[in-house]
Structure 1
Amino acid sequence: MTDMNVGTLYVVATPIGNLDDLTPRAARVLAEVDLIAAEDTRHSARLLAHLGIKTPMVSLHEHNESRRIEELDARLAAGEQVALISDAGTPLISDPGFVLVRELRERRRRIVPLPGACALTVALSAAGLPTDRFMFCGFLPAKQGARRQQLEQWKEREETLVFYESPHRIHATLEALQDVFSARPVVLARELTKTFETFLQGSAEALLATLADDPNQARGEFVVMVQGSPAVSTEEGADISADTLLQALLDEGVGVKQGAAVAARLLGGRKQVWYARLQAIKGEH
């Protein structure tokens, strides 16, 4: 371990499923530090028991993180070594630790990250979606209206969108993706690195059908990935006004309901708004 005379906070990534994914460096640090700050000490105790590590632990989670700062800072000031871990994966990535790390950096404490497992990058590496650019969105809002509104704001993003989702909300999330993103490719990664690791791909509608046919596919923790919006062409003459498109749809005999869906997919916005506009244009003729 580097300079044991300097108090250091080690931000340690732990396995997301398969315990063999813990790095030798992480195992060594967890065994040598004076204290481990764990999201759930009962959960992490199983990992430490597997490794034969008996380092003392304290809890650090979203409800007590701010209160732990002074205690942990005092230990670092005294030259002790502390490791920060979450229940699985890399701390701070949709897990506790941000408040602590930010404050300790303000106090100029030494912070050392130990890389390792992260569900976000594990899922992307095997999904078959573009990874040159992606946007990690954490967990979507729990309420239906807020979830839909958030997705609408990201509808025109060209990079791959990545979410975490729980089993009891996966159906609702897929329904929202179907409404907002229509037939855009979606990949579900579940139970990563575990026995029943599965990647499912297709439109949100197709994935809902898959989950309906096999309820077991709705179990476990999910990484949800959505292919980004196609790049908007900037070639001369490529732009078209909304009203021109709507009129062309009507001229081709496309129904108002179907036309509203096409307009929402191509131009963004809500189907109801385009439906009303199409009705208005239709009524003018």
Structure 2
Amino acid sequence: MNIDFMVQSNLHILRLDRGRFDHRFAVGPARWPFWDLLWVHSGTLTLEIAGISQEITAPAGILIAPNTAFHGQAKPTAEASICHFTWHHPDISAAQSYALPNLLHGADLQSLVTLLQTYGKRGVDHGMRANLLQVILDGFQPAPDPAPVSRIDQAWHEAAEKLQGIRGLVDVAALVGLSESTFRAEHRAQHQRPAGQHLQRLRLRRAEQLLLTSGMTLPEVAEAVGFAHAESLSAAFSKRYGLPPGRYRRRKQRMA
């Protein structure tokens, strides 16, 4: 349901919707030009946002600032609602990538979010909907400053920007002046999984983003994320997401 109105509070609601996420299909990747209030009513969503992993277990939500890239997955399913809106003079600075519930308990906020969705379905007065949204937003606070970045995470951050030129872990390690063996050991100690697995997921995650947000062909996507051949990307992608890249792209585009 699309809603389009302006109110004195400077809140301009664009969309209210509610549905179910399934672990077979990713949440995002997305980067909205407006604010996004994502509330989990049941189940759990894990989101990667601003370089930080956030697990959101009902009743809880997250307020995502405009132009903030995020993606995630349900565990294994989750019912959630969204509210997309513009906010010209927010109390929470747009410089913050996201905000989490603060002033009210999750259950209290959830009842308000549910009421907002009900208002939308019933066509309740625009001003009342905006006022209710403002009350909900008052229950959020900016995200805390992230912990200092380790040299392993620094390497992965740089590698994500240079995937096309990353041949393997030796190149990732070199970004922070480490040998491949040292990098592997430090990565496993920090993340409790093999570094090679992490690199593969990084490539596939970026491939998914390009498939859904660009018109690039499969060979072009493969080259951009560091796969030697489109066939190699297709095999790895199918194993990870359960569908070959072309079918995955078409299905997600239909759902969007």
Shorter-chain TM-score range: under 0.3
Q: Which one has a larger percent strand, Structure 1 or Structure 2? A: 2
- Between structure 1 and structure 2, the one with the greater Rg is 1
Please report the TM-score for the alignment, with normalisation by the length of structure 1: 0.26
Please report the TM-score for the alignment, with normalisation by the length of structure 2: 0.28
